[in-house]
Amino acid sequence: MATLTDKSAIITGASSGIGEAIAKHLAAEGANVVLAARRSERLEELAQQIEKEYNVAAKVAETDVTNREDVENLVKLTKDSFGSVDLLVNNAGVMLLSFLKNDYVDEWEQMVDVNIKGVLFGIHAALPSMIEQESGHIINVSSVAGHEVFPSSTVYSATKYAVRALSMGMEKELSRSGVRVTNISPGAVDTELTDHITDGEVLEMFKDHSMEPLEAKDIARAVAYAATQPDYVNVNEVIVRPMHKK
């Protein structure tokens, strides 16, 4: 396995859950990390912890991924700090599950903005220089909901199918460019993701959950697996689901 020593890695949505775990795992593999999200106090704390524990550099970039300029500045900060962007993990996302009949149109819009436009802005900001340097790796966090649609996941799934389509198209277009692409599709993971759901009918439905969710670090290991392969190995798709209770 290749080490990530002296590589730079941007992780969006690093202020909690899966993104935080990915940042720690990539730092443990030797990468200098740039932590992006809106809650910068949390990122500052994480950066301090990472620098202390893993002996790498950790930068903070307060970023709203729905704002194109913020994402461009995030990439600029990474280049100014480390010379290049070697790894971009498009992880920031929201899962505002609701039933279509309840018409939560503002939440649909937010999911489209964060989950699709946020990923597109990351690609826009980082890909040109990766193509120029003939190396780089973009890891997009989709979901099992990007492979299947469940009642109340219709719009969320639409955004995560879109993320998968972006990953698949990038793989086809970039396979001769030196830029690798990985799509990660987690099943249920214990994070803050469900805290933002407002549709009461969905919250009621969740009470009967029969699944023990994964931990964020279970997904971080999958990301690190893809990121630490030798340059000629392109891990395109990883699905990680929890086991059902016996």
Residue 13 binds ligand NDP, judged by CB under 6 A: yes
Question: Taking the complex as a whole, how short is the minimal distance between the CB of residue 78 and ligand NDP, in angstroms?
Answer: 15
Residue 54 annotated to the active site = no
Residue 95 binds ligand NDP, judged by CB under 6 A: yes
Question: Taking the complex as a whole, how short is the minimal distance between the CB of residue 200 and ligand NDP, in angstroms?
Answer: 20
Name the residue nearer to ligand NDP (CB basis): 39 or 221: 39
Q: Which of 54, 104, 156, 161 is catalytic?
A: 156
x-marked contacts with ligand NDP along 17-46 as a string, rule CB under 6 A: xxx-----------------xxx-------
Name the residue nearer to ligand NDP (CB basis): 131 or 240: 240
Residue pair 236/171 in contact (Cβ under 8 Å)? The answer is: yes
Neighbouring CB atoms inside 10 A of 217's CB total 15
x-marked contacts with ligand NDP along 136-175 as a string, rule CB under 6 A: -----x-x--------------------------------
The residues binding ligand NDP (CB under 6 A) are 12-13, 15-19, 37-39, 63-66, 91-95, 114, 141, 143, 186, 188-189, 191-193
